[in-house]
Amino acid sequence: MGLSVDILSVVLGVSAVVLAVLTLEFKRIMHSIMALCLFSVVLALAFFYLSAPLVGVFQLAVLAGAVTVLFIIALMLTGKVEVD
Pick the CATH number of 11-77 from 2.60.40.10, 3.90.25.10, 1.20.120.1200, 3.40.50.970: 1.20.120.1200
Q: In this predicted model, what pLDDT tens digit does every residue of 34-75 receive, in sequence order?
A: 999 999 999 999 999 999 999 999 999 998 889 999 998 998
Ordered by start, the domain boundaries in the chain are 11-77
pLDDT at 83: 60
Rounded to whole angstroms, the Cα distance separating 84 from 35 reads: 20
Which of 8-17, 36-45, 74-83 shows the lowest mean pLDDT across its residues? 74-83
pLDDT at 78: 87
The helix (run of H) or strand (run of E) holding residue 46 is helix 29-49
pLDDT at 6: 86
Rounded to whole angstroms, the Cα distance separating 28 from 71 reads: 13
pLDDT at 4: 61
